[in-house]
Structure 1
Amino acid sequence: MPVTRRAMLGGVLSSMATAALADAPLTSIRPRARLTEYAAAQIIRQSGLSGTVGCVLANTATGEVLEAVAPDLPQPPASVAKAFTSLYAIEALGPAHRFETRIFADGPVRDGVLDGNLVLVGGGDPNLVTDHLAELAKRLKDAGLREVKGGFQVWDNALVNLDEIDSAQLDHLGYNPTITGLNLNYNRVHFEWKRADGEYTTAVDARSQNYRPAVTVARVQVVDRTSPVFTYRAAEGVDEWTVARRALNNGGSRWLPVRNPALYAGEVFATFARSHGIVLKRPEEVAALPDGQVLATFHSDPLQQMMHGMMRFSTNITAEAAGLSATAALTGQQRGLRTSALGMARWADGRAGIAPYFVDHSGLGDASRVTAADMVRFLTAERVAPTLRPLMKRVDLVDQNRQIIRDAAWQVVAKTGTLNFVSSLAGYIRTADGQDLAFAFFGADLEARERGKNAGGEAPAGASRWNRQAKALQQRILRHWIRAGSG
């Protein structure tokens, strides 16, 4: 039986609750005595965490609300939004769906010679990496192609092109990438620097597990300044970066976003084609998908497996490409990010009778809002847990000394979400006596977040400390719920 809005509104705490919640009615089946004895509201109050917190615990089988604090407070879900996106994509596209990256020939091929253009065609695969393009180039050679008389083109319009997910984020953050129908290495390049005799040498490459070809679609120059750490400008298809000398140590590396992913993928593919004796011209983007024959294809992992990886590693580009693809499949046409995100919210309403608000599919934008009540209603809706629960990552519980509690009698699986001054956690608990519970925790200090955004910088003052406190509070509440649920 799904959790109802009435049950959510009623399932509010105990005599130890805050004054604002003390008079709220309980559900028809009252919370267990031990939950009343160790009320989550008091744990939150004693934590001293600034901002606001909403949390809910419910029985997945009966829909009984066992405990709730500010259940209808809308909060940014951060990456917990990916739980919605996973199910949205799987139900729209099917768990066995695979993204295709193809090589087209728009002219005849005779005796291994293409009299026309070769086209690298993206299918929206968000997890395409350099190793995959190496395999695709090998398949092209195995198909018998030896020479291309025409040009080399790239097509990336399988999805609406997005310059970035969240325009409020800093330019150099690799987790805020461009999204197109042709992506590579999560649309990031690897920037590496070394200092010798007081001078820096830099390198930019498209590394993955087995290969690291150098690329020219991005350049980084070390300059004398204190701040900002990075600057960016677009220059005729090339990403021009500068980095402050004083921000660099003797050697290191980081990932930088790529704003021209189709050209990036084209350059890397051409490198591997050349290694097989197939010399290609400089890649050029084309707006229309050309007619022609398919010479080689690379298929992604099945969507179910892809969503499992996304939930584990919280890759934003995977969430956005999957969400955009799901919306296109459901509506029959491509949609922009905001429209697609609103479509996912409408789907969630029809799926679980809830009213979230999404501005993207990854949770990177802090304008999205979900209540703890709606999150738990979604987790306990019909046919959600059998698909979603196996995608979630096990959460280890730690004691007051931050030592992992080793206890095989219970299990917590969940999706985490973190932004500066935002911390979320939602998932499932299996207790020692075999009960299945669903929970959600949403915490945020939005005033502090706004101050940090206005100040600029990647790590605002106080953000790390706040997020550590929030995660410690999540742990205390989880320990409380497991003790109570196992009683």
Structure 2
Amino acid sequence: MTRQLTDALGDKALGGRVGAVVLDAATGGQIFASNPDVGITPASTNKVVTTTAALASLGPDTRFSTRVVQGRAPGAIVLVGGGDPLLAGPTAKPGYPKQASLATLAARTAATLKAKGVRKVTLSYDDSLFTGPAIAPGWKPNYVPDGEAAPVHALAIDEGRQRPGARPRVADPAVTAAAAFARLLPKYGVTVSKDIRQEKAAAGAAELGKVDSAPLYALVEHTLTHSDNDMAEALARHVAIKEGKEASFAGAAEAVLAVMRRLGVTKGVAVADGSGLSIRNRVSADAMARVIAIASSAQHPELRAVDSGMPIAGFSGTLGNGRRFTRADSRGQVGLVRAKTGTLNNVNTLAGLATTKDGRLVTFAFLADDVPVNAEPVLDRLAAIVARS
């Protein structure tokens, strides 16, 4: 394996900054290493760190609730965002994981209101669960207009998309979600005044309706399989809240690093966001491979969704797009590699796990952030070498 990996790492397509590590998942011992401690821009493999931290901090069965509570005045209600970007809007189609629905929330809220004899309300919205800038440091200006991610808000439907499944994003996801909720309530017999404003819900306000997200383990699998930037950013902020930090990009970074230290990954990780879109993120190949090894260990069953959520080579998610593991030097390992991809301008990364011919589970990380054009075929070749060794 060593000679083959060394030869492959010499491919000029990888550029001049490459970190590579292969670990024995059971023992943590290095099987192969090249520049293992160099901090490399991870791109979307950063989601491995984010989702591992979320599972370790919050637990795999945690759900995020979107609620409607009583406002401060009679006939006033407040829609309270719970940090669930997968909350389905009125036109969303069912998918996996099963999403909480704004329509269901409207129906439940209307039923409660009508039982109280209330059929006309004023509506406010509260998205104060998340704080700080909605755009991360190190995000390029085109990311939101091009639909790579929405501005990060605690209240959003359809991940801030203009319509379900579309790339374009709305300027203010919270305002859009509140307006959609206002249009839904009359369908269930409750009239809403035209003026919708932002307002922090009163502490202890009576709950009128609630919907819950899918459990965290399913959200993690979705995030990794589909490289979901919006969900990753929400998860990072929930880690911040759980760890007693500010629910901002900066607070989330502090919290994720604190969880990594508890897991025993004490160096080689510096994050600026949860998704990996920021060019300020740095993760060493050794740290990335160790995080995946920890997630696969019997000592941490709560982290298992990290491994089960990774795309399968040639079959699912970002490895099932018809472009990966298609060449002669990698297609023989289709189905035998699970790995998270990462792509930014001049950055290509791949990190995951495979079982060698002798039945040993190994984890790997191949990270390159000085790529001239496209190094994905070389990364596939590297992972294939590991899988067939």
1:92 to 57, 60, 74: 57
Closer, same or farther in 2 for the Cα pair 1:102/1:50, shift >3 Å? same
Partner of residue 124, structure 1: 83
Q: Is the 8 A contact 1:73 1:372 kept in 2?
A: yes
Q: Distance in 2 between matches of 1:363 and 1:48?
A: 22
Between 135-144 and 257-266, report the one with greater CA deviation: 135-144
Q: Is the 8 A contact 1:99 1:125 kept in 2?
A: yes
Q: Is the 8 A contact 2:108 2:209 kept in 1?
A: yes
Partner of residue 389, structure 1: 307
Partner of residue 62, structure 1: 27
Q: Is the 8 A contact 2:42 2:342 kept in 1?
A: yes
SS at match of 2:191: coil
Partner of residue 135, structure 1: 104
Q: CA deviation at 1:77?
A: 0.9
Alignment of 1:445-464 (within 5 A): 445=370
For residues 202-232 of structure 1, give each alpha carbon's deviation from its aligned partner in whole angstroms, at most 9, with x where no partner exists: xxxxx47xxxxxxxxxxxxxxxxxxxxxxxx
Partner of residue 183, structure 2: 271
Q: Is the 8 A contact 2:78 2:201 kept in 1?
A: no
Closer, same or farther in 2 for the Cα pair 1:363/1:403, shift >3 Å? closer
Partner of residue 405, structure 1: 332
Closer, same or farther in 2 for the Cα pair 1:277/1:48, shift >3 Å? closer
1:330 to 238, 243, 252: 243
1:306 to 216, 219, 230: 219
Q: CA deviation at 1:476?
A: 1.4
Q: CA deviation at 1:415?
A: 1.2
Q: CA deviation at 1:306?
A: 0.8
Q: CA deviation at 1:304?
A: 0.9
Alignment size in residue pairs:
359
Q: Distance in 2 between matches of 1:299 and 1:105?
A: 18
Q: Is the 8 A contact 1:378 1:384 kept in 2?
A: no
Q: Tell me which amino acid in the other structure corresponds to 2:325.
A: V
Q: Is the 8 A contact 1:337 1:360 kept in 2?
A: yes
2:135 to 145, 151, 164: 164
Between 118-127 and 136-145, report the one with greater CA deviation: 136-145
Alignment of 1:166-181 (within 5 A): 166=137, 167-170=139-142, 171-181=144-154
Q: Distance in 2 between matches of 1:378 and 1:291?
A: 39
Closer, same or farther in 2 for the Cα pair 1:56/1:158, shift >3 Å? same
Q: CA deviation at 1:368?
A: 0.7
Partner of residue 222, structure 1: none
Q: Distance in 1 between matches of 2:132 and 2:258?
A: 23
For residues 4-27 of structure 1, give each alpha carbon's deviation from its aligned partner in whole angstroms, at most 9, with x where no partner exists: xxxxxxxxxxxxxxxxxxxxxxxx
For residues 423-471 of structure 1, give each alpha carbon's deviation from its aligned partner in whole angstroms, at most 9, with x where no partner exists: 111111112332100100101117x6xxxxxxxxxxxxxxxxx22xx11
Q: Distance in 1 between matches of 2:246 and 2:2?
A: 50
SS at match of 1:341: helix
Q: Is it true that 1:422 corresponds to 2:327 in the alignment?
A: no
Q: Distance in 1 between matches of 2:333 and 2:8?
A: 23
Larger Rg: 1
Closer, same or farther in 2 for the Cα pair 1:37/1:49, shift >3 Å? closer
Alignment of 1:337-486 (within 5 A): 337-355=249-267, 356-381=269-294, 383-384=299-300, 387=304, 388-396=306-314, 398=325, 400-401=327-328, 404-405=331-332, 411-445=336-370, 466-467=373-374, 470-484=375-389
Q: Distance in 2 between matches of 1:438 and 1:36?
A: 15
Q: Tell me which amino acid in the other structure corresponds to 1:123.
A: G
Give TM-score, length-normalised by structure 2. 0.84
Q: CA deviation at 1:400?
A: 2.8
SS at match of 1:257: coil
Q: CA deviation at 1:150?
A: 4.5
Q: Distance in 2 between matches of 1:416 and 1:41?
A: 21
**Structure 1 segments of 4+ aligned residues over 6 angstroms from their partners:** none
Q: Is the 8 A contact 2:150 2:173 kept in 1?
A: no
Q: Distance in 2 between matches of 1:402 and 1:143?
A: 61
Q: Is the 8 A contact 1:172 1:256 kept in 2?
A: yes
SS at match of 2:103: helix
Q: Tell me which amino acid in the other structure corresponds to 1:173.
A: D
Q: CA deviation at 1:67?
A: 1.6
Aligned residues: CA RMSD = 2.5
Q: Distance in 2 between matches of 1:36 and 1:123?
A: 48
Q: Distance in 2 between matches of 1:274 and 1:402?
A: 59
SS at match of 2:10: helix
Partner of residue 11, structure 1: none
Closer, same or farther in 2 for the Cα pair 1:65/1:366, shift >3 Å? same
Q: Tell me which amino acid in the other structure corresponds to 1:136.
A: L
Q: Gaps (5+ residues) in structure 1? A: 1-34, 109-114, 191-206, 209-253, 449-465
Partner of residue 233, structure 2: 320
Q: Is the 8 A contact 1:52 1:445 kept in 2?
A: yes
Partner of residue 321, structure 2: none
Q: Is the 8 A contact 1:72 1:372 kept in 2?
A: yes
Q: Distance in 1 between matches of 2:7 and 2:212?
A: 51
Partner of residue 47, structure 2: 82
Q: Is the 8 A contact 1:169 1:176 kept in 2?
A: no
Q: Distance in 2 between matches of 1:312 and 1:431?
A: 23
Q: Is the 8 A contact 2:313 2:334 kept in 1?
A: no
Closer, same or farther in 2 for the Cα pair 1:406/1:181, shift >3 Å? closer
Identity %: 27
